[in-house]
């Protein structure tokens, strides 16, 4: 299973710094980054491999709040997907 995330951010520099620093926490919660894209300064997309969907959903529904605040995330949308 994989997850596609869309982040809306206030500034790309603090977002990337916080995103990189959050890698270990994401990993402990079943998410491994495969790719990160920048559409423009406000929109970033990430593709994650999901090894534990339950832990990942729990993290995203509450545990990621400190990261979101530190990274300047103003909006986030997640989609769990599987190969058809």
The pLDDT value recorded for residue 8 is: 98
Mean confidence (pLDDT) of the chain: 97
CA–CA separation, 72 vs 80, rounded Å? Answer: 23
pLDDT at 24: 96
User: Residue 74 has what pLDDT?
Assistant: 97
pTM: 0.93
What CA–CA distances, in Å, run from 48 to 41, 55, 69, 79, 83?
21, 14, 20, 10, 13
Nearest in space to 16 (alpha carbons), one of 79, 78, 70: 70
* Dihedral pair phi/psi, residue 4, rounded to 5°: -105, 130
pLDDT, residue 9, reads 98
CATH code of the domain occupying 2-81: 3.30.70.100
Report, as ranges of residue numbers, the positions in the chain whose pLDDT lies below 50: none
Domain ranges of the chain: 2-81
């Amino acid at each position: 299973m994989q997850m596609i995330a869309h982040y809306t951010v206030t500034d790309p520099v603090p977002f990337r710094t916080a995103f990189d620093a959050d890698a270990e926490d994401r990993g402990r919660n079943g998410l491994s980054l495969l790719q990160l894209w920048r559409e423009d300064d406000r929109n970033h997309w990430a593709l994650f491999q999901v090894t534990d969907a339950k832990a990942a959903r729990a993290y995203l529904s509450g545990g990621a709040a400190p990261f979101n605040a530190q990274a300047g995330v103003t909006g986030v949308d997640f989609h769990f997907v599987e190969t058809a």
